[in-house]
Each structure stands twice: as structure tokens, then as C-alpha cells.
């Protein structure tokens, strides 16, 4: 039960991936981890960006975690991150962005992602251990903020 206490922090998770197999794995993984929140699933950055733009001032509708594939057609994960970070609403304060990639990006690309505000870079597909580590880090951040 990884997310037993995590659901109080994370009510919504967004996945952006054009590969239906990866999307299936990730949504199934959340179900196996007993995550009880809402899952927003998009196969392209434009639809996800529309959702975030429309809801940028409504904190309860924004995801706390955004998992975005780095290599997407039409708009890359990095371009998506740069666009959402430019929005003036609550997104930067509320949303932690995790980049997913089948290969670890080159150092220059990883630096650019870090500069753009990416919280983590993880290899696809996610594993239960990845979610557990994210949970523990979020709990640590919550504890540090509360102290």
C-alpha cells in the first residue's frame, strides 16, 4: 500500500505519453499501488497543455505530479515543460514534473531539463520502486516544509 498516506498530498496525477503500451503499464501500476486519486491521461502535449491552461488558477483541478515522455511528436516533453512553466497560474507552485524516457538524456539535455524545473528524470517504464521513492521524497519535502 504505497499510496495509503500519499493520497492526502496527491489527488491527481497526469501522464503524457504517445505509446499506448507505456500508458497502460503506468496506469495499471498506479492501480496496483492502490492510488485512489484521479488520473489524467493524454497521448499528446497539446491536449495536456489545454487542460493545464484552462485550469491554471484552480488548484484542486491541477495534478500534483506530471509524468511526461521526453520524446513526443509535434511537441517534445521539454517544449511542454517550458510552456507550462511560462503560465502565470498555480502550476509552478503545485505541479512536480517527472520526465520519462526510454534512454537517459545526454548531459546537456538533462541540464536543460533541470534548468526548466524538472523534478526528476526516470527511465520508462515506471516501476513500483520508482513510485515508492517518489512517495518517500514527497513525504520528506512535506516534513521539511512543516518543520
Query: Nearest Cα to 126, choosing from 39, 18, 59, 33?
Result: 33
Beta strands 65-69; 38-42: pairing state: unpaired
| pLDDT average, residue stretch 114-120 | 84
Mean pLDDT for the chain overall: 84
Distances (CA, A) of 133 to 56, 86, 114, 122: 27, 28, 19, 11
Q: What is the pLDDT of residues 23-60, one digit of tens each?
A: 999 989 888 877 778 999 999 999 999 999 999 999 99
Question: What percent of the chain shows pLDDT beyond 70?
Answer: 88
C-alpha cell at 51: 487542460
> Strand (E) positions, 70-125?
96-101, 120-123
Whole-angstrom distance, CA of residue 79 vs CA of residue 127: 25
Q: pTM for this structure?
A: 0.86
Whole-angstrom distance, CA of residue 6 vs CA of residue 16: 21
Residue 59, H or E segment: none
**pLDDT score of 68:** 95
CA angle 136, 142, 144 (to 5 degrees): 100
Amino acid at each position: 500500500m504505497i499510496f495509503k498516506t500519499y493520497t492526502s498530498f496527491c489527488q491527481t496525477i497526469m501522464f503524457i505519453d504517445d505509446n499506448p503500451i507505456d500508458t497502460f503499464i503506468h496506469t495499471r501500476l498506479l492501480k496496483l499501488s492502490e492510488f485512489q486519486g484521479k488520473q489524467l491521461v493524454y497521448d499528446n502535449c497539446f491536449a495536456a497543455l489545454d487542460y493545464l491552461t484552462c485550469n491554471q488558477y484552480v488548484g484542486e483541478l491541477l495534478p500534483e505530479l506530471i509524468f511526461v515522455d521526453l520524446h513526443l511528436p509535434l511537441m517534445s516533453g521539454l517544449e511542454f515543460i517550458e510552456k507550462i512553466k511560462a503560465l502565470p497560474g498555480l502550476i509552478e507552485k503545485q505541479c512536480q514534473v517527472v520526465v520519462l524516457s526510454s534512454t537517459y538524456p545526454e548531459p546537456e539535455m538533462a541540464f536543460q531539463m533541470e534548468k526548466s524545473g524538472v523534478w526528476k528524470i526516470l527511465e520508462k517504464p515506471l516501476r513500483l520502486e520508482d513510485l515508492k521513492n517518489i512517495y518517500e521524497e514527497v513525504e520528506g519535502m512535506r516534513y521539511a516544509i512543516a518543520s
